Amino acid sequence: MSGTAILTADALVAGYGEMQILHGVSLELAAGEIVTVIGPNGCGKSTLLKTLAGLLRPQGGRIELNGLDITNATTRDRLRAGLGYVPQVRNVFGTMSVEENLRMGLFAVPGSIKDRQNSVREILPTLAEYWTATAGKLSGGQQQVVALGRALMASPTVLLLDEPSAGLSPKATSEVFHHIREISNRQGVAVLLVEQNAHKALEISDRCYILAEGRNQIDGTARSILNNPVVGKIYLGAYGEVE
Ligand SMILES: Nc1ncnc2c1ncn2[C@@H]1O[C@H](COP(=O)(O)OP(=O)(O)OP(=O)(O)O)[C@@H](O)[C@H]1O
């Protein structure tokens, strides 16, 4: 990793009731980095993001954001400290307009709605095309951009994105990934991405963590993971032929 860590997870243990899913997962994220977490179905990728976002209380380990211990902080406090989260499903308010969806992004943090909306529209100019539309009537790709926009309203320093390409066409996936790259490049936001679409995600990523059975397996630069034939065969093979 280059630069100082903005988000650190150390030896996270978490799960659901008696069922432990994460058995000591650790990771670091620096400002402006895009880092992808990949791994087999059910290995705990979404559980990791939920734990970082504060939806699941860890049974062990520590999470720090900007040097602040947020291990037991509420989701609201995490949001205020600069942690944004876009879940995989139900990530827009379907009956509200795009403009109203973005307003909702500022519910827990102080700020001028108009100023923030203007700033978000500069980073995601495509929002202007469907600004007054009802969010639930938009395509999957457009809804994903709305979800990104809503998360950006709170001026996060870190964005956690759970499978932003889920259910999208290859074209829509490329567009969403382009927006993610822009958010990182132009705003210096650190992005932690969980993805099934490992190849495409790695193409826009700086680094990668591979999880298996709730544990860290391999990590390295995205390039080294993409170029490693053994890793490619085991972890990327299933996705390698998908455009
Ligand atoms: N709310 C829940 N209650 C109980 N078990 C759950 C819950 N959510 C997930 N699990 C279980 O936790 C394990 C890890 O799930 P998780 O969604 O974190 O995996 P994942 O790596 O994101 O998988 P996928 O790639 O399929 O989305 C799975 O066995 C899953 O069935």
Q: pLDDT tens string for the chain (243 positions)?
A: 667 899 999 999 999 999 999 999 999 999 989 999 999 889 999 999 999 999 999 999 999 999 999 999 999 999 999 999 999 887 899 999 999 999 999 888 888 899 999 999 999 999 999 999 999 999 999 999 999 999 999 999 999 999 999 989 999 999 999 999 999 988 899 999 999 888 899 999 999 999 999 999 989 999 999 888 777 777 776 444 333
Cβ 41 under 6 angstroms from ligand 1: yes
What integer pLDDT is reported at residue 242 of this predicted model? 36
Residue type, 154: A
pLDDT on residue 2: 64
pLDDT at 243: 35
Single-letter residue type at 175: E
Mutation test of ligand 1: which of 13, 20, 47, 56 has the most ligand atoms closer than 8 Å to its C-beta? 47
> With contact defined as beta carbons under 8 Å apart, do 63 and 77 qualify?
no
Domains within the chain, CATH numbers bracketed: 5-236 (3.40.50.300)
Three-class SS of residue 94?
Answer: coil
Q: Which pLDDT does position 64 carry in this prediction? A: 97
> Do 35 and 208 touch, CB atoms closer than 8 A?
yes
Of 43, 165, 195, the one to substitute when testing ligand 1's pocket (max ligand atoms within 8 A of C-beta) is 43
Distance of CA 218 to the CA centre of its chain: 19
Encode burial over 96-120: b for 16+ CB neighbours within 10 A, e otherwise.
bbbbebbbebbeebeeeeeebbebb
Report the alpha-carbon distance of residue 54 to residue 225 in Å, rounded.
29
The two three-digit tokens of residue 8, written as one number: 């650190």
Residue 192 CA to residue 29 CA, distance in Å, equals 8
pLDDT on residue 237? 60
Indicate if ligand 1 lies below 6 Å from the C-beta of 238.
no
* Dist. CA 58–CA 94, nearest whole Å: 31
- Nearest residue (by CA) to ligand 1, atom 30, is 42
Q: Which helix (H) or strand (E) holds 210?
A: strand 207-212
Distance between CA atoms of 155 and 119, rounded to whole angstroms? 10
Q: What is the pLDDT of residue 239?
A: 43
